[in-house]
Amino acid sequence: MGVLDGVRVLDFGRFIAAPWCSALLADMGADVVRIEKREGGEDRWVQSVTEGGEGGTYLQCNRNKRSLTLDTTTDDGKAITRKLVARSDIVVANMPAAGMRANGLDYETLRAVRQDIILASATAYGEGGPYSDRIGFDGAGQVMSGAVYRQGLPEQPIRTVVPYADFGTALTLTIGVMMALYHRDRTGEGQHVEGALLPTAMMLSNAFLIERDLLGTDKPRMGNQGTSVAPCDLYKTADGGWVLLQIAGRPMFMRWCRLVGRAEWVDDPRFADDDLRWENGDVLNDAMAQWCADKTKAEVLEMLEAAKLPAAPMNSTQDVLDDPHVAAMGYLQRVPFPGAPHDVPIIETPFRLSATPGVIRRRAPLLGEHTDEILGEIGYTTADITGLRDRQVV
């Protein structure tokens, strides 16, 4: 039994922030209905990996959901939306406030249908400021948070290809939804939960802002080197592999010095603490690079592990798929999907509960796969549904 069994969620989300939030709720047992346009939401077709055109992120972010196609701009579509809201606990969406109002998804409109509804909305910049009506994807949060200003190469800032602002917003939104459910259980009151890409990205890089505000300085962009410690970098090995090492604190530094044959650096005033080691990082990183240059990746990792130093191999995507730890832990669940060449490796629920773990019960839905089923649950007959299709409502 899932901890959220009996909780009903309407998912109007697209791309990542809202859909991944509702996917986590679905993993924990919630009945999540994904509502999308008759031709399919645009996020369904990005990064296509199946014969039908569904994309990798879609397959990840929409497992455990049912799909209902609906033209919410029609009178019939609006009536269906109201009926669905009336029996739901949570509505999840990511669009600017103007779009929410146009689709009848703003909090006041939803409350008029169900007083204790919980609305979870994700936007680019949050509501109430001069940027609130702007649209933006993950990269907007990254570049406006100050993070990209600090990362990359000296002559080239580099945005992170992994959409961490999107997925981070999904996680914070999910936490907010669970807090709102807890509050509703205690008081009977619903509420509006807001998440946004910019504050999520600022949360993840807040230390940079604190450093700038208190010290009045920004550290330079340094590629893969550490922002506050050394040695710290990706180091190339003799067989063409790469290994990450991150040394922080004097005990680790002492062990590293002994390992690489630089015992005299333990008491060198240039390396007395983390800040000084960072300032003199070129010396330390060059020494580590030289130490790795005549050893294989496996040899480097074995020696660093024996010295109890925090290191990790840079894995290719295939390396991850083949990794024995990933396999033993079951982090990737193989899920069949129509039109995929073989079962799809979908990340499991990214947290584990000992009594009520998340479960991938079903694959992501095909477009409109459950339309008849869902409409039947709210009182529409077979003839009614045929009429809705004839009128191009579903």
Tens-place pLDDT, residues 221-240: 999 999 999 999 999 999 99
Q: How confident is the model at residue 159 (pLDDT cuts 50, 70, 90)?
A: very high
CATH number, position 101: 3.40.50.10540
Q: Quick one: 109 and 194 in the same domain?
A: yes
Percentage of residues in the chain having pLDDT higher than 90: 97
Please check whether residue 44 lies inside any domain of the structure.
Answer: yes
pLDDT at 218 exceeding the cut of 90: yes
| pLDDT tens-digit series, residues 41-96 | 999 999 999 999 999 999 999 999 999 999 999 999 999 999 999 999 999 999 88
Query: Over 90: is that where the pLDDT of 156 sits?
Result: yes
Tokens of 278: 């960072």
Say if 1 falls within a structural domain.
no
Show the domain range for 281: 242-313
* Residues whose CB is less than 8 angstroms from the CB of residue 10 and which lie 6 or more positions away in sequence, other chains included: 32, 33, 35, 84, 85, 88, 90, 91, 92
Do 114 and 165 belong to one domain? yes
CB 351 within 8 A of CB 359: no
User: What tokens does 234 get?
Assistant: 């990706």
**pLDDT given at position 95:** 85
Q: Domain count of the chain?
A: 2
What is the SS3 string spanning 92-131? EECCCHHHHHHCCCCHHHHHHHCCCCEEEEEECCCCCCCC
Give a yes or no: residue 60 inside a domain.
Answer: yes
In this prediction, residue 97 has a pLDDT band, given cuts at 50, 70 and 90, of: confident
d(CA 390, CA 235): 62
Answer with the one of 313, 341, 372 that is the final residue of a domain. Answer: 313
Edge-to-edge strand list for the sheet holding 232-236: 232-236, 242-246, 311-313
**DSSP per-residue letters across 251-277:** HHHHHHHHHTT-GGGGG-GGGSSHHHH
Residue with tokens 């694959």: 363
For the segment 18-33, the average pLDDT, to the nearest whole number, is 98
Instruction: With beta carbons less than 8 A apart as the criterion, state whether 114 and 89 touch.
Output: no
The β-bridge partners of 236 are 242
69 part of a folded domain: yes
- Residue 99 pLDDT: 85
Question: Of 284, 313, 342, which residue constitutes the final position of a domain?
Answer: 313
- Assess whether 66 and 186 both reside in one domain: yes
155 shares its domain with 76:
yes
What phi and psi, each to the nearest 5 degrees, are found at residue 93? -155, 155
Chain centroid offset of residue 354 CA: 23
CB 40 within 8 A of CB 68: no
State residue 146 phi and psi, 5-degree precision. 95, -10
Do both 194 and 119 map to the same domain?
Answer: yes
The Cα 170–Cα 179 span in angstroms is: 14
Question: Residue 138: what pLDDT?
Answer: 97
Task: State pTM to two decimals.
Answer: 0.95
Residue 229 within any structural domain of the chain: no
List residues bridging with 65 in a β-sheet. Answer: 32
Pair (146, 171) in one structural domain? yes
pLDDT at 166: 98
Res 102: pLDDT: 87
Short-list 85, 110, 97, 102, CA closest to 33: 85
**Residues 282, 343: one domain?**
no
The reply to whether 126 and 248 lie within a common domain is no
Q: Looking at the DSSP assignment, which residues form a beta bridge with residue 344? A: 335
Same domain, 139 and 270: no
Q: Do 134 and 40 belong to one domain? A: yes
Span 315-341, average pLDDT: 98
Place of tokens 């369904």: 44
What percent of the chain has pLDDT above 70?
Answer: 100
pLDDT in tens, 266-298: 999 999 999 999 999 999 999 999 999 999 999
> What value does the mean pLDDT take over residues 113-141?
96
Taking alpha carbons only, the member of 56, 51, 65, 86 closest to residue 19 is 65
Tell me whether residue 2 is in a domain.
no
Distance CA(294)–CA(69), nearest Å, equals 59
321 occurs within a structural domain: no
Query: How far is residue 45's CA from residue 55's CA, in Å, rounded to a whole number?
Result: 5
Q: Give the pLDDT band of residue 1 (cuts 50, 70, 90).
A: confident
Distance separating the N- and C-terminal Cα atoms of the chain: 32
Q: Which of 278, 313, 348 is the last residue of a domain?
A: 313
Residues 147 and 259 in one domain: no
- Which amino acid does the sequence have at 335? V
User: What's the pLDDT score for residue 230?
Assistant: 97
Separation of alpha carbons 190 and 180, rounded Å = 7
Task: Tell me the per-residue pLDDT of 176-207, one tens digit each, with 9 for 90 and over.
Answer: 999 999 999 999 999 999 999 999 999 999 99
What is the rounded average pLDDT of the residues 349-376? 97
Residue 196 lies in a domain: yes
Give the model's pLDDT for residue 375: 98
Q: In whole angstroms, what is the distance from residue 281 CA to residue 270 CA? A: 10
Residue 146 pLDDT greater than 90, yes or no: yes
Residues 302 and 354 in one domain: no
